[in-house]
């Protein structure tokens, strides 16, 4: 944790803080500090680290002392300061958790052990490991948020001394800081720490850009310092005239913040209007609004640049009024108006709350509530990669504030949709969402929400599987995780249904019987924990159906069964086709024999209860004789029996499935097919073709030109039709279009 990054805090190195200096720093804000505890921690850590040194050559003990010093600036409790001094002793010395507990108590021992675990995490390893490590970080933080505060202070000191680290490691550590630690500090409301972490990381990742911005800011400051003072004076006088007592300060934005805005808005430094911001610190919330009113009376405000984070705080607890006004000379000035307590929380964030002092309960609003919600995601079964992705989404987002019809405030990331809103209300509301009203008007579920929108969600009686497209459209980690989980669950159900059908089919072909209870008795032979896992494995082609038969009937051999499919190499391509028992039930046709029904898996279309796809480059239609090809992990692909593409599977007879159509004649569902059309090269020809297809109630999915002579054009059109008869009617209609359509015929997959 500390050893990798160099010397002590910014400023001169090699000077070590003494015991009395550490205690004095704590007593400035806590006169009743436990001097004995801090003295003992200091002496113990100094002896434990002994002659260890850092990359800078300084004594290693300087590092935990500087971490403790950073935490005294945050005014943290004695236990946290002591844990900071001791935070590396278990990892780097002979000290043990038991010894720390005995000497300093279990509270400090728990903090030090939590930090020791975090020391071993590599958050910029490959994605799966990074996600798992980030889970461990937040799980440690969930037990005691002070672990995160010490970890952030540790990272800040390491970043201040990063120049002592070899260049190859610098980039990795700086990127990790920018990706994880700076956003975490911001999400915890610790804006001052976030600014410094970002600036230090930016300095090492893009040194030329950092130096360029600093140089330009220095130039601008020479001519702008007097102007900043004038603006401070004007704002202060305006507040005083309105009877508002407060302090006014001008501040320069951080280089990284400026760089990010230049990149986002594609602007030069000179064109940015808010390089300097001005803060007005007042005594009460009432004073905040009085100061805002005084500013808006004195100067025009810029429309769209006013934000009220006092009445609607950010999720990390940040509160302030933001407004941009235009001063004389067309000078745009950003004002941030807040109470002094709000300012303290902005600087110190979660550290400004008494979450762990005097036995007080944790504040379940703001940053701490976000942390709790994030930890709750760990219990929802997300993979490490998904957890990292969703948490990063939460770390980096800006916000919009929306309301329920009853006035409940819901804070969401910018770009959120009514689906995000529904899942933010409750997971069950998201799972049953089927429509939305925004500001009283019906709106698409994927519409982008704006600040102040009132959103009402219409729900179904029961949860339904969300469309996969929702996952890419939503903006919150919670919604994305829930949608992905529901999609997985639906897919599992489909594979389970397919596997059950295949197992039943295998037993019928073998002339054997089975029951669920009997199969449960042989789960150990199948190396699966449950019967559903067996069916899913069969459906995913991870387990052969015949292996399930053998689990119950060990003496059974497939070669001796009745009606076995001939080997593809012996029977040939058409032999395999003839071995497939394929039927299609339609109105007016007699029902198939019972043996046919029993030996084929029913296919009901894309919206059925099986993981089904149709052959690429041509599809398959009710009315076609069909065969199913099982693809591991993907499900069944349905091909017409005459498809030339089936020859690719001659050497894999185990992948062939007997399937049959079982579509509902009263339900209009469209299936994919492909048509090759040759048309005359003349104006309006394409419109005539499209019109003919549309008049027959078919749908054009894709269309492309494939060539042709000077006076002709060849088209390939992917259409969606109800069945084979419907497609034949479309082709027949095309052929009657006079001289425009020269030829039309179906293309087989």
CATH classification at residue 103: 1.10.3210.10
CATH code at position 224? 3.30.460.10
Q: What is the DSSP string of 256-297?
A: HHHHHHHHHHT--GGG-S-SEEEEEEESSHHHHHHHHHHHHH
Question: Is there a single domain that holds both residue 610 and residue 718?
Answer: no
In this prediction, residue 27 carries a pLDDT of 92
Task: Quickly tell me which residue has 């239609």 as its tokens.
Answer: 621
For residue 361, is it within any domain?
no
Neighbours of 715 (CB within 10 A): 20
In this prediction, residue 7 carries a pLDDT of 36
Alpha helices in 377-445 (DSSP H): 384-396, 418-425, 427-432
Task: Quickly tell me which residue has 């005014």 as its tokens.
Answer: 75
Q: Widest CA span of the chain, in angstroms?
A: 102
Question: Is there a single domain that holds both residue 139 and residue 44?
Answer: yes
CATH code at position 716? 3.30.70.260
Residue at which a domain ends, from 641, 661, 681: 661
Kindly report the three-state secondary structure assignment for every residue of 47-99: HHHCCCECCCCCECCHHHHHHHHHHHHCCCCHHHHHHHHHCCHHHHCCCCHHH
Counting the structural domains of the chain, the total is 4
b/e sequence 316-341, b meaning 16+ C-beta within 10 Å: bbbbbbbbbbebeeeeebbbbbbbee
Nearest by Cα to 16 from 66, 57, 86: 66
For residue 356, is it within any domain?
no
Residues involved in catalysis: 91-92
Pair 119, 102: CB distance under 8 Å: no
pTM, to two decimals: 0.53
Question: Is there a single domain that holds both residue 15 and residue 42?
Answer: yes
Task: Quickly tell me which residue has 């032999």 as its tokens.
Answer: 575
Q: What is the DSSP string of 593-645?
A: PHHHHHTSEEE--TTSSS-EEE-TTT---BTB-EEEEEETTTEEEEEETT-GG
Question: Is there a single domain that holds both residue 147 and residue 70?
Answer: yes
Per-10-residue mean pLDDT, the chain, length 749: 40 69 91 93 92 86 92 89 92 90 92 75 51 62 77 92 87 84 79 90 89 80 72 89 88 79 64 73 93 92 86 80 86 88 77 47 49 55 55 57 80 86 89 90 90 87 80 83 82 82 84 88 86 86 86 76 39 34 34 47 66 83 86 82 86 79 77 90 87 89 82 89 90 86 85
According to DSSP, residue 355 is labeled S
Residue 389 C-beta-side C-alpha neighbours within 13 Å:
16
Residue 437 C-beta-side C-alpha neighbours within 13 Å:
8
In this prediction, residue 148 carries a pLDDT of 82
The CA-to-CA distance between both ends of the chain, in Å, stands at: 59
Q: Is 405 left (phi over 0), alpha (psi -120 to 50) or beta?
A: alpha
Question: Is there a single domain that holds both residue 248 and residue 344?
Answer: yes
Question: Is there a single domain that holds both residue 199 and residue 316?
Answer: no
Q: Count the helices and strands in the chain (H runs, E runs).
A: 30, 20
Whole-number Cα distances in Å, 130 to 183, 203, 583: 16, 24, 51
Nearest by Cα to 506 from 299, 658, 353, 281: 658
Whole-number Cα distances in Å, 222 to 218, 331, 369, 479: 6, 18, 44, 49
Question: Is there a single domain that holds both residue 497 and residue 574?
Answer: yes
Question: Is there a single domain that holds both residue 678 and residue 630?
Answer: no
Q: Which domain holds residue 715?
A: 671-747
Q: Which residues contact 317 (CB under 8 A, 6 or more apart)?
A: 189, 345, 349, 350, 353, 365, 366, 367
- SS3 call for 534: helix
Tokens at residue 242, please? 């309105």
> Cα 215 vs. chain centroid, distance in angstroms?
37
Residue 747, exposed/middle/buried by CB under 10 A (0-12, 13-18, 19+)? middle
Question: Is there a single domain that holds both residue 250 and residue 173?
Answer: no
Nearest by Cα to 253 from 338, 201, 191: 191
Residue at which a domain ends, from 632, 661, 690: 661
For residue 223, is it within any domain?
yes
Question: Is there a single domain that holds both residue 532 and residue 655?
Answer: yes
In this prediction, residue 614 carries a pLDDT of 87
For residue 63, is it within any domain?
yes
Pair 78, 105: CB distance under 8 Å: no
Question: Is there a single domain that holds both residue 701 and residue 637?
Answer: no
Residue at which a domain ends, from 326, 351, 376: 351
In this prediction, residue 118 carries a pLDDT of 65
- SS3 call for 546: helix
In this prediction, residue 398 carries a pLDDT of 59
Angle at 227 between CA 223 and CA 233, to 5 degrees: 155
CA distance 705 to 414: 41
Q: Which residues contact 291 (CB under 8 A, 6 or more apart)?
A: 239, 242, 244, 246, 280, 282, 321, 337
Backbone angles phi, psi at 405, to 5 degrees: -60, -25
For residue 486, is it within any domain?
no
For residue 443, is it within any domain?
no
Question: Is there a single domain that holds both residue 85 and residue 173?
Answer: yes
For residue 456, is it within any domain?
no
In this prediction, residue 286 carries a pLDDT of 93
Please name the helix (run of DSSP H) or strand (run of DSSP E) that holds residue 715, with its range, or none: strand 712-721
For residue 378, is it within any domain?
no
Q: Which residues contact 288 (CB under 8 A, 6 or more apart)?
A: 282, 310, 321, 337, 338, 339
- In sequence order, the β-bridge partners of residue 624 are 622
Q: Write down how long the chain is.
A: 749
């Amino acid at each position: 944790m500390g050893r990798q990054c160099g010397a002590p805090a910014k400023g001169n190195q090699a000077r070590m803080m003494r015991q009395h200096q550490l205690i004095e720093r704590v007593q400035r804000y806590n006169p009743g500090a436990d001097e004995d505890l801090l003295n003992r921690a200091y002496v113990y850590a100094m002896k434990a680290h002994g002659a260890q040194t850092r990359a800078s050559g300084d004594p290693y003990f300087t590092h935990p002392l500087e971490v403790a010093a950073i935490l005294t600036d945050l005014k943290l409790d004695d236990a946290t300061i002591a844990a900071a001094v001791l935070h590396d002793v278990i990892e780097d010395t002979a000290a043990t958790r038991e010894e720390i507990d005995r000497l300093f108590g279990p509270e400090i021992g728990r903090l030090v052990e939590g930090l020791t675990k975090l020391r071993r995490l590599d958050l910029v390893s490959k994605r799966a490991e990074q996600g798992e490590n980030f889970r461990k970080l937040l799980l440690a933080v969930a037990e005691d948020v002070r672990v995160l505060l010490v970890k952030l202070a540790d990272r800040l000191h390491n970043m201040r001394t990063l120049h002592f680290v070899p260049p190859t490691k610098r980039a990795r550590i700086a990127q990790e800081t920018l990706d994880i630690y700076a956003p975490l500090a911001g999400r915890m409301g610790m804006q001052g720490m976030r600014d410094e972490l970002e600036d230090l990381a930016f300095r090492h990742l893009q040194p030329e850009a950092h130096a360029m911005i600093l140089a330009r800011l220095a130039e601008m400051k020479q001519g702008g310092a007097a102007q900043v003072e004038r603006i401070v004076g004007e704002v202060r006088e305006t507040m005083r005239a309105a009877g508002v007592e407060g302090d006014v300060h001008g501040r320069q934005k951080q280089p990284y913040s400026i760089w990010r805005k230049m990149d986002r808005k594609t602007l030069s430094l000179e064109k940015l209007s808010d390089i300097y911001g001005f803060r007005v610190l007042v005594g009460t919330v009432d004073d905040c609004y009085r100061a805002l009113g005084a500013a808006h009376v004195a100067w025009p405000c810029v429309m769209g640049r006013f934000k009220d984070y006092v009445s609607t705080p950010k999720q990390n607890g940040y509160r302030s009024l933001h407004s941009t006004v235009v001063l004389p000379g067309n000078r745009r000035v950003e004002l941030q108006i807040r109470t002094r307590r709000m300012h303290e929380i902005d600087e110190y964030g979660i550290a400004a709350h008494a979450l762990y002092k005097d036995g007080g309960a944790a504040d379940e609003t703001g940053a701490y509530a976000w942390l709790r919600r994030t930890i709750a995601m760990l219990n929802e079964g997300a993979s490490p990669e998904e957890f990292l992705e969703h948490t990063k989404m939460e770390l980096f987002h800006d916000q919009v504030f929306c309301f329920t019809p009853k006035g409940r405030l819901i804070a969401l990331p910018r770009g959120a949709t009514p689906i995000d809103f529904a899942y933010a209300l409750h997971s069950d509301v998201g799972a049953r969402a089927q429509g939305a009203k925004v500001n009283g008007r019906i709106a698409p579920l994927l519409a982008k929400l704006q600040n102040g929108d009132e959103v009402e969600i219409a729900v179904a009686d029961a949860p339904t599987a969300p469309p996969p497209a929702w996952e890419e459209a939503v903006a919150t980690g919670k919604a994305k995780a829930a949608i992905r989980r529901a999609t997985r669950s639906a897919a599992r159900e489909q594979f389970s249904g397919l596997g059950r059908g295949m197992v039943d089919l295998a037993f019928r072909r073998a002339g054997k019987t089975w029951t669920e209870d009997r199969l449960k008795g042989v789960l150990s032979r199948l190396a699966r924990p449950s019967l559903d896992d067996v069916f899913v494995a069969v459906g995913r082609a991870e387990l052969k159906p015949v292996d399930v038969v053998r689990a119950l009937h060990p003496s059974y051999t497939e070669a001796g069964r009745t009606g076995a499919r001939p080997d593809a190499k012996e029977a040939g391509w058409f032999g395999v086709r003839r071995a497939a028992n394929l039927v299609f039930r339609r109105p007016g046709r007699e029902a198939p024999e019972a043996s046919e029904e029993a030996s084929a898996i029913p296919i009901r279309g894309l919206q059925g209860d099986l993981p089904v796809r149709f052959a690429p480059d041509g599809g398959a239609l009710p009315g076609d004789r069909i065969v199913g090809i099982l693809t591991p992990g993907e499900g069944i692909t349905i091909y017409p029996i005459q498809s030339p593409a089936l020859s690719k599977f001659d050497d894999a007879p185990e992948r062939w499935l007997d399937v049959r159509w079982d579509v509902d004649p009263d339900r209009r569902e469209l299936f994919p097919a492909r048509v090759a059309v040759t048309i005359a090269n003349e104006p309006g020809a394409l419109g005539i073709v499209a019109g003919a297809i549309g008049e027959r109630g078919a749908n054009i999915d894709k269309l492309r030109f494939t060539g042709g002579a000077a006076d002709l054009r060849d088209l390939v059109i992917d259409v969606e039709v109800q069945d084979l008869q419907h497609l034949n009617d479309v082709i027949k209609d095309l052929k009657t279009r006079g001289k425009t359509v020269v030829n039309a015929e179906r293309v087989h997959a």
